[in-house]
Amino acid sequence: MSDTITSTMIKNNLPQHLFNSNNIGFCRVPGRVNLIGEHTDYNGFSVLPMTIKKEIFCAFSKRNDNEVHLFNEDLRFQPLSFLNGNEIIPSPTGSWDNYIKAGVVALNKKFKVKTFPGFNIYIKSTLPIATGLSSSSALVITASLVYLKVLGKKLGHDISRLELAELMAEGEHFVGTKGGGMDQTVILNGGKGRACKIDFFPIRTTLLPLFEDYVFVVCDSTIRAQKTGACLQRYNAGPRICSLVCTILQRYLQKELGDHFHIKRLGDLWSGDLCLNHQEILDYVEQIIPTGNLSLKEIAYLLDVSPQTVRESWLGDIEEPEKGFPLRARIQHVITEHRRVELSRDALLANDAYTFGKLMNESHQSCAQNYAISIPELDTLTQIARKYGAIGSRLTGAGFGGCTVSLVPKEKLDYFMENVEKQYYQRYLGLPYAQNMFIAETSDSASYIN
Ligand code: NG1
């Protein structure tokens, strides 16, 4: 399917009684590929994604009642409906109406909505699902754009793009994941021909130039990472463990520096009261967080609380691994990954593709070894990519499946594509041809269209 969808392309498929030419609106919302900076956003550390030309396209119309009706061209997503109102209850995890509900609930709260309007939505998309390209946040942002219009609110006037991103990042927790704000921010604030460095708390974005003689290529491992399904616990283990490490660090730093000292998230070490540099943070971590894995009991001892409190306050239902919780490895990843994002920004500004590629490779290794979010397919795919021309290759997104992103010199593009198809898709997976392997062309941020 072509990556560009126009309003005329879907007009004929719309249920005519719900969408007529008087009340119809359209918007398009891109996915994103994260170039570097994985599992850093919810810790308050930076990320470096870009918007891609794989997009959700949506037609919508306001209704005279408070019913919300959802249709999707993709038949895996059956028509659903719910009532807009004071209390909107989540459907079972994984149900696609939750992403629409997430946007509606957050905006109802923000604008203190009293009379709850209904609307119809029809979705058509070129964005692959559950591949780490942000199909879920793209749907939440779609819902937010639609519902803003239905409420008569203007993007950029009643709410800024950064405010909406922040609101939707929080709002998306409705679906059960505890992610950060990378996806919503780049989708609403990224730009054509640019990578988008994002810093958090408060959200700030910087658009950066891309390399002229290189392209980023996305390759789907074909292993699905269902973040609200089988991978939910594994995904949420990251934020939970990081918040636990943050508390341990705070306790020890308070002893040293005084009780007034607070860190809400790991990023506060770097940008908060203390303003430590990279080496100082690493030194503190080495001093405070034991190497190796820790049992629940050992963590409780460190914090001087009961194991039950550790569960209730931080770990929730995350199972205790047989070898214990790898606190040191997790924080090692987060801190070094943040540093890699900073260096990658410098490499983009200096047009230094080799350094950027090297940082991507180091990022993959840290994601695999320290954050444990890789799988054999992603490791194999990145190895093959490097062998056949990529100067950097890494998993992208939450991990546990999904896609890789590789930095490839334009002159080696054909050689790269042919060999990845042959070696990974055909030889390793036994498939007839490559799946979702494409050059990541950038796209404009989410917008309404005619
Ligand atoms: P994807 O790849 O879209 O599942 C998730 C989080 C991001 C970020 C990355 C890991 C959501 C909506 N997105 O992205 O915030 O934490 O994982 O870097 O939770």
Longest alpha-carbon distance in the chain = 68
For residue range 191-218, list pLDDT tens digits in order.
999 999 999 999 999 999 999 999 999 9
Name the CA dihedral angle for 290, 296, 301, 305, rounded to a multiple of 10 degrees.
Answer: 130
Q: What's the CATH number for 3-208?
A: 3.30.230.10
Rounded to the nearest angstrom, the distance between the alpha carbon of 414 and the centre of ligand 1 is 30
Instruction: Check: CB of residue 93 under 8 Å from CB of residue 42.
Output: no
- Our answer on whether the CB atom of 41 is closer than 6 Å to any ligand 1 atom is yes
CA dist list (Å): 433 to 385, 396, 426, 441? 16, 22, 6, 21
Query: Which two three-digit tokens encode residue 171?
Result: 């709002």
The C-alpha atoms of residue 239 and residue 242 are separated, in whole angstroms, by 5
Establish whether 183 is a catalytic residue.
Answer: yes
Neighbouring-strand partners of residue 57:
28, 124
- Our answer on whether the CB atom of 55 is closer than 6 Å to any ligand 1 atom is no
Atom 2 of ligand 1, nearest CA residue: 397
- The runs of H, that is alpha helices, within 291-394 are 296-303, 307-310, 327-349, 353-369, 376-387
Best probe residue, ligand 1, of 45, 127, 178, 183 (max atoms within 8 Å of C-beta): 183
- Our answer on whether the CB atom of 42 is closer than 6 Å to any ligand 1 atom is yes
- pTM (predicted TM-score): 0.94
For residue range 349-378, list pLDDT tens digits in order.
999 999 999 999 999 999 999 999 999 999
CA dist list (Å): 297 to 244, 287, 301? 14, 20, 6
Is the pLDDT at 407 greater than 60? The verdict is: yes
φ, ψ (nearest 5 deg) of residue 412? -105, 10
Question: Which has more confidence, 176 or 41?
Answer: 41
Query: Which two three-digit tokens encode residue 187?
Result: 């989708």
**Residue 319 has what pLDDT?**
85
Instruction: Check: CB of residue 179 under 8 Å from CB of residue 41.
Output: yes
For residue range 294-345, list pLDDT tens digits in order.
999 999 999 999 999 999 999 988 888 899 999 999 999 999 999 999 999 9
Which candidate in 41, 74, 97, 183 is catalytic?
A: 183
Q: Quickly tell me which residue has 């090297």 as its tokens.
A: 358
% of the chain beyond a pLDDT of 90: 82
Helix (H) or strand (E) holding 161: helix 161-171
∠387-32-392 over CA atoms, to 5°? 20
